[in-house]
Amino acid sequence: MAERLISQWISFGSIALATGMAGATVAAANAAETYPSGVVTVVTHSSPGGGSDVFWREMIPHLQPHLGGKLIVQNVTGGSGAKAVATVADATPDGSMFYATTPTYIYTSLLANPTKTYKDLEPLVNLFYDPEVIYTAANSKFSDLKSVIAEAKSGRGKWGAANPASLEREALEEIKAATGANASIVTFEGGGDMLLNVLNGSLDIGVGEVEEIRSQLDAKKLRVLAVIGDNRLDLLPDVPTAKEEGVDVSVVKFRGLAGPKNLPPEVISAWEKAAQELVADPDYKKIYEANNLQPGYIAHDRYVKFIDDFAQKTEGFLKESGVVK
């Protein structure tokens, strides 16, 4: 799903739909029995209609039968996700409230030093990956990633990332470092601005999620040059990965859940079971495949380590480049 498709275009502060907050406190009292017995709130930092919000609201009808209870989405925007993290970190760890994770919360934790960071949350399970791709204008002179790199080595490349300190920026910086290319990386306030500059030829390439550029791809205004991931995409079987093109860079944009620290074991096992069933659900599979999402179930134990590794890598990147101390 196009996480960035909207959420980052929206710079207004925030709205939160507190529907069911009262219910959540009631649920807390009964959680000890059979989980989940009441309302389970999924807090997203995305505003209504934003990437994460649409993703979760679409998923919930399919997840509900596998998990039970009553699932609702609550939007806690503001502070680039810091607010949502704090809300969940302060909640009772009884499985009644979770945070919808994306790499954003790691970046915000590291960049802004908010009072509650990703370290105050316990990763629960991961559900999906959003594949990141490198694309160019349909009429550009570049035929593959190699030609983009070659251009950048002989002269100066112009590459676009949707946001200043983001997974996409990190991917481009890694490509630059891995290939020794000479490229200026231009950052924008969201994918839309960048897309325009790829379309009008200001930029050689842009990097983003497939979902963001789907309409332009269908209209044949853009071409995808490479996937910055470990595997090719089912939707674009002819597009090689960056690794196949000789650039050893791979990033993952994850979508999962995290809760307050000290989640009870029965909550974790209930979610692990439901998450696996959900990813295998044939009805939902049709929907998420159409949305270019890759199933990416990660069990609780491994997810804790996954997030930790991701955060350390990101922190290393930000420190090495001097953005944070």
Q: Map residues 301-320 to x or -, x wherever contact with another protein holds by CB under 8 A.
A: -------------------x
**95-114: which residues touch another protein (CB under 8 A)?**
107-108, 111-114
β-partners of residue 206 are 135, 160
CA distance 115 to 130: 28
Q: Single out the residue of 28, 71, 145, 165 in contact with another protein (rule: CB under 8 A).
A: 165
Nearer to another protein, 72 or 263 (CB): 72
Is 325 within 8 Å of 162 (Cβ atoms)? no
**217-236: which residues touch another protein (CB under 8 A)?**
218-219, 221
Q: Single out the residue of 197, 250, 276, 294 in contact with another protein (rule: CB under 8 A).
A: 197
Q: Single out the residue of 22, 32, 138, 280 in contact with another protein (rule: CB under 8 A).
A: 22
Q: Map residues 57-86 to x or -, x wherever contact with another protein holds by CB under 8 A.
A: x------------------xxxxx-xx---
Decide: is 12 part of the binding site for another protein (CB under 8 A): yes
Residue range at the interface with another protein (CB under 8 A); choices 36-44, 140-148, 155-163, 245-253: 155-163
Q: What is the CA radius of gyration of the chain?
A: 20
β-partners of residue 226 are 134
Which residues, including other chains, have CB under 8 Å from residue 229's CB and lie 6 or more apart? 129, 131, 132, 241, 250, 251, 252
Question: Cα dist. 214→102, 141, 195 in Å?
Answer: 21, 21, 12
Q: Single out the residue of 237, 262, 265, 325 in contact with another protein (rule: CB under 8 A).
A: 325
Q: Map residues 28-47 to x or -, x wherever contact with another protein holds by CB under 8 A.
A: -------------------x
CA distance 128 to 296: 4
Residue 210 DSSP code: G
Q: How far is the CB of 303 from another protein (least distance, A)?
A: 25
Q: Residue 268 CB: number of other CB atoms within 10 A? A: 19
Q: How far is the CB of 315 from another protein (least distance, A)?
A: 14
Is 232 within 8 Å of 240 (Cβ atoms)? yes
